[in-house]
């Protein structure tokens, strides 16, 4: 860390603070621990260290030692120095590079598709680069893999092979790598903020100010996009602003809060009618997961037991302990249902609130089992001083607390209502004591925290499917031909969750035995990773076995409403279509000419307009023994082989040649645009005129990326040159002093 730069930024004099010989030793101690840390993290830690050192030198040195070790341990998860991914341009370059590494491993292992390799072995080879980052796509269970393969189970049901193929497709996709790197960078920044004290009461509760600001910006950008697009259905002549459609769903905080309250109230009514009692539990992780503590009257302070865990690690620990609890309760035949709410402490560490209903005879057993697993580890944190333990010891309360619901004092729904509102939009919550702010401001921090760390805030435990409930609420007309379906529809339509539970077989009926199930269908087009896209089409009753449609087909996302000529709408159910106005809403004569040319070429091959639509969404068409696909706005034609392996090899060879040509073309374009960007920067040309002279939006976007990269490199070189000049000036200064020194 550059102390001179820190002095200028912080406006302090380090020599004046560390004036004595002992203070100089402490300064060297701090500098040694701050070596090889990112500049921004080091500056934040040093600023905190100075404040602590002025109050207590020994405590400050211990804090610096422990927190710098936690930061360095966190940095070991990255196979590259962290500055390689600190900008969007660099993350995109790293994503391309590491996706290419996976592709090369795939090509080498299969000899460019000419050699057959065991699927599991191939996956382990290809995902080696991802393992270095800790990234992993969704994988199937490999339990008894060899025995199932030997008996031919995978040949009869290729689900295993399909999942492995989809995982490999993600590993070689630079877009997938880009998403993983973006998520990893955000969480690194937030974890560093937690360790250095930028996430805590009195500073920025729940989430850092930077993450909260970025979260608001993402929400604002998403809202602008929703308000600039429509969902249209030409078949039925329907048109709706996309923002209104989203606002009517559970994505709307008000709708989500109301639905949770209805379900919670229904659970409580069902429990009262069937003789269950409710108990409220609070489950907190051990002290080693908490970075900062909060005193009742004073400010927050660092926790000396903290070992560097982030909120995702803490949530994984709580889930693991809950899994053990559920297994034990199942072995003891304890039936329960209710809700779980996850919310953060002021330092971002998650803790759980559970409202569970159980038979009175099993209440003490449920409580005892939950308490035993909540206190399974680090019991010494709760042990009182020797000789001070009272006969009725309740020192476990900081980790596990419970409160039996007394209907005479209040309802279970009223007890949990505060936690539901506090973690959604803060409605009807006056003050957030944990955040020391208003309820609405605290709720913003909580939702930003959940988004950053990917933590599920609410989970129903037991009971029927809420997705079936939502589909039934779409139905407006009675289902007189099916009594079960009508009873379920009527309960959902009147927001009677208790009646819905009864119609669906009770709180403990297994999902496969529920009388009303979801009706699903598989889309004609696969997604970009070759996976089937499963869409909900309605509900299915066990009485009639006839699916009842709850959704209209033909919805599309469009930049313009109905009646606009030349509108290029996107199928709403197609997961291949990216939700981006940049990609989908570009209009102009060039687009029309390109589409017209494709239609002419398709007509020559005997294809219908519907076939061309399938091609544009990634499908491959077999027309009279000829395979046709669309790549980069070009129709590729190949003769279909009889054997599937030969067909795969044929396409693999064509793809490799085509990809090589496209890659070479893009490399030449990048090189040419970079040279133009350097000339523009050196001679002070007109950027707008340069961009306007490029042939198409894709090239213009690529040119802007190259220009931004050149500016970044220029800035780095300028900083390095200034640093070298400062070192030279310092060296000259000391040499001049030595020459003037008398001997």
DSSP letters for 480-508: TT-HHHHHHHHHHHTT-HHHHHHHTT-TT
The pLDDT value recorded for residue 494 is 93
User: Is it the case that residue 568 has pLDDT exceeding 70?
Assistant: no
| Residue 180 CA neighbour count, 13 Å, CB half | 24
Element of type H or E holding 329: helix 311-331
As a whole-number percent, the residues of the chain with pLDDT over 70 amount to 78
Question: What pLDDT is stored for residue 486 in this prediction?
Answer: 92
Predicted local distance difference test score (pLDDT) of residue 516: 93
Range name among 394-403, 458-467, 601-610 with the lowest pLDDT average: 601-610
Say yes or no to pLDDT of 144 above 80: yes
Facing residues of 139 across strands?
none
**In angstroms, rounded to a whole number, what is the distance separating the alpha carbons of residues 690 and 704?**
10
Residue 715 CA, chain-centre distance (Å), reads 32
pLDDT for 381 equals 78
Q: Is the pLDDT of residue 130 over 50?
A: yes
Model confidence pLDDT, tens digit, residues 250-259? 888 899 999 9
319-371 pLDDT tens trace: 999 999 999 999 999 999 999 999 999 999 999 999 999 999 999 999 999 99
Angle, in degrees to the nearest 10, between helices 589-604 and 609-616: 120
Using pLDDT thresholds of 50, 70 and 90, give the confidence band for residue 90: very high
Least confident of 227-236, 391-400, 417-426: 391-400
Q: Which listed residue (215, 276, 415, 500) is catalytic?
A: 415
Q: How far is CA 37 from CA 47, 73, 357, 476, in A?
A: 14, 11, 50, 61
Q: Are 108 and 115 in contact (CB under 8 A)?
A: no
Q: How confident is the model at residue 579 (pLDDT cuts 50, 70, 90)?
A: very low
More confident residue, 8 or 405: 405
- Sign of the CA dihedral with 422 first, then 424, 430, and 433 last: positive
Q: Does residue 411 surpass a pLDDT of 80?
A: yes
Residue 658's pLDDT is what? Answer: 46
Spatial separation of the C-alpha atoms in residues 403 and 411, rounded to whole Å: 12
The C-alpha atoms of residue 735 and residue 727 are separated, in whole angstroms, by: 12
Whether the per-residue pLDDT at 198 is higher than 70: the answer is yes
Query: Residue 543: is its pLDDT beyond 90?
Result: no
- Vertex 734 angle, CA 729 and 737, to 5°: 125
Answer for the pair 482, 543: CB distance below 8 angstroms, yes or no: yes
Q: Is 415 a residue of the active site?
A: yes
Of residues 619 and 505, the one with the higher pLDDT is 505
The pLDDT score that the predictor gives to residue 577 is 36
DSSP symbol at 153: H
Which region among 3-7, 46-50, 316-320, 369-373 has the lowest average model confidence (pLDDT)?
Answer: 3-7
Residue 75, both tokens? 């940095």
Tell me how long the chain is. Answer: 743
Q: Band of the pLDDT at 588, cuts 50, 70, 90?
A: very low
- The pLDDT assigned to 707 comes to 80
Which of the 8 DSSP states describes residue 301? Answer: E
Q: Is the pLDDT of residue 738 over 50?
A: no
Helices and strands, counts by H and E, the chain: 28, 19
> How high is the pLDDT of residue 70?
92
Residue with tokens 């769903």: 249
Q: Is the pLDDT of residue 562 over 60?
A: yes
Per-residue pLDDT tens digits for 42-74: 888 888 888 889 888 899 999 999 999 999 999
Question: Six-digit token pair at 738?
Answer: 């030595």
- Pick from 421, 331, 405, 319: which is nearest to 363 by CA? 405
Provide the mean pLDDT of the chain. 82
Q: How far apart are CA 42 and CA 60, in angstroms?
A: 15
Residue 632 has pLDDT above 90, yes or no: no
Q: Which of 188, 206, 419, 500 is catalytic?
A: 419
Torsion sign across C-alpha atoms 145, 146, 148, 153? positive
Say whether pTM exceeds 0.95.
no
User: b or e along 311-323 (b: 16 or more beta carbons within 10 Å of the residue's beta carbon)?
Assistant: bbbbbebbeebbe
Neighbours of 277 (CB within 10 A): 19
Q: Is the pLDDT of residue 573 over 50?
A: no
Q: Where are the beta strands (DSSP E) in 83-242?
A: 230-233, 238-241
Interacting residues of 399 by C-beta distance below 8 A, sequence separation 6+: 283, 284, 285, 286, 374, 375, 381, 382
Asked whether the predicted pLDDT for residue 574 surpasses 50, the reply is no
Residue 642 has a pLDDT of: 42
C-alpha to C-alpha distance for 551 and 535, rounded to whole angstroms: 10
Looking only at the bridges linking them, the beta strands covering 556-558 and 230-233 are: antiparallel
**Residue in the block written with tokens 């990255």:** 78
């Amino acid at each position: 860390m550059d102390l001179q730069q820190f002095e200028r930024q912080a406006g302090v004099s380090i020599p004046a603070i560390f004036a004595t010989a002992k203070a100089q030793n402490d300064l060297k101690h701090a500098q040694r621990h701050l070596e090889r840390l990112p500049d921004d993290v080091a500056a934040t830690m040093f600023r905190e260290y100075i404040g602590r050192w002025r109050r207590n030198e020994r405590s400050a040195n211990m804090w610096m030692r422990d927190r710098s070790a936690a930061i360095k341990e966190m940095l070991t998860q990255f196979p590259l120095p962290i500055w390689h991914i600190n900008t969007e341009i660099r993350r995109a370059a790293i994503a391309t590079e590491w996706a290419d590494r996976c592709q090369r491993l795939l090509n080498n292992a299969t000899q460019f598709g000419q050699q057959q390799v065991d699927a599991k072995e191939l996956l382990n080879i290809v995902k080696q680069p991802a393992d270095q980052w800790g990234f992993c796509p969704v994988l199937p269970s490999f339990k008894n893999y060899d025995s199932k393969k030997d008996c031919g189970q995978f040949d009869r049901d290729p689900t295993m092979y399909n999942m492995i193929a989809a995982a490999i497709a993600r590993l070689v996709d630079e877009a997938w790598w880009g998403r993983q790197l973006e998520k990893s960078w955000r969480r690194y920044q937030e974890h560093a903020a937690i360790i250095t004290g930028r996430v805590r009461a009195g500073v920025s509760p729940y989430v850092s100010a930077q993450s909260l600001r970025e979260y608001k910006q993402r929400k604002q950008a998403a809202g602008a996009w929703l308000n600039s697009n429509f969902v249209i259905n030409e078949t039925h002549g329907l048109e709706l602003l996309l923002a209104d459609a989203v606002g009517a769903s559970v994505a709307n905080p008000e709708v989500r809060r109301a639905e949770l309250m209805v379900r919670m109230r229904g659970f409580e009514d069902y429990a009262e009618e069937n003789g269950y009692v409710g108990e409220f539990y609070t489950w907190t992780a051990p002290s080693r997961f908490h970075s900062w503590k909060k005193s009742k009257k004073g400010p927050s302070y660092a926790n000396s037991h903290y070992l560097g865990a982030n909120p995702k690690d803490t949530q994984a620990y709580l889930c693991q302990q809950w899994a053990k609890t559920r297994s034990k309760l199942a072995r003891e035949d304890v039936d329960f249902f209710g809700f779980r709410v996850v919310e953060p402490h002021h330092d971002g560490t998650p803790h759980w609130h559970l409202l569970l209903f159980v038979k009175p005879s099993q209440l003490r057993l449920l409580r005892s089992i939950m308490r035993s697993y909540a206190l399974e580890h680090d019991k010494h944190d709760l042990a009182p001083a020797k000789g001070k333990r009272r006969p009725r010891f309740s020192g476990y309360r900081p980790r596990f607390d419970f409160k039996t619901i007394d209907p005479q004092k209040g309802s279970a729904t009223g007890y949990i209502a505060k936690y539901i509102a506090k973690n959604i939009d803060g409605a009807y919550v006056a003050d957030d004591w944990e955040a020391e702010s208003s309820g609405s401001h605290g709720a913003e921090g909580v939702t930003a925290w959940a988004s950053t760390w990917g933590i599920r805030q609410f989970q129903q435990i037991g009971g029927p499917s809420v997705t079936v409930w939502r589909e039934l609420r779409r139905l407006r007309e009675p289902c007189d031909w099916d009594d079960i379906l009508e009873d379920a529809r009527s309960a959902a339509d009147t927001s009677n969750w208790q009646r819905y539970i009864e119609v669906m077989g009770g709180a403990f009926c297994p999902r496969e035995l529920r009388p009303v199930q979801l009706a699903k269908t598989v889309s004609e087009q696969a997604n970009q990773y070759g996976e089937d896209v499963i869409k909900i089409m309605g509900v299915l009753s066990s009485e009639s076995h006839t699916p009842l449609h709850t959704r209209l087909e033909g919805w599309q996302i469009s930049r313009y409403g109905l009646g606009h000529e030349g509108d290029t709408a996107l199928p709403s159910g197609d997961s291949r279509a990216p939700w981006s106005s940049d990609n989908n809403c570009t209009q102009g004569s060039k687009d029309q000419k390109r589409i017209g040319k494709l239609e002419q070429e398709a007509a020559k091959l005997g294809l219908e307009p519907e076939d061309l639509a399938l091609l544009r969404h990634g499908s491959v068409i077999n027309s009279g023994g000829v395979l046709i696909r669309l790549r980069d706005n070009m129709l590729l034609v190949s003769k279909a082989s009889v054997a599937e392996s030969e067909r795969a090899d044929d396409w693999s060879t064509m793809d490799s040649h085509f990809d090589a040509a496209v890659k070479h073309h893009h490399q030449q374009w990048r090189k040419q645009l970079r040279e133009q960007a350097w000339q523009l920067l050196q001679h002070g040309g007109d950027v707008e005129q340069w961009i306007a002279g490029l042939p198409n939006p894709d090239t213009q976007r690529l040119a802007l990326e190259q220009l931004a990269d050149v500016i970044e490199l220029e800035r780095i070189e300028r900083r390095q040159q200034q640093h070298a000049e400062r070192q030279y000036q310092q060296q000259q200064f000391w040499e001049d002093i030595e020459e003037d020194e008398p001997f």
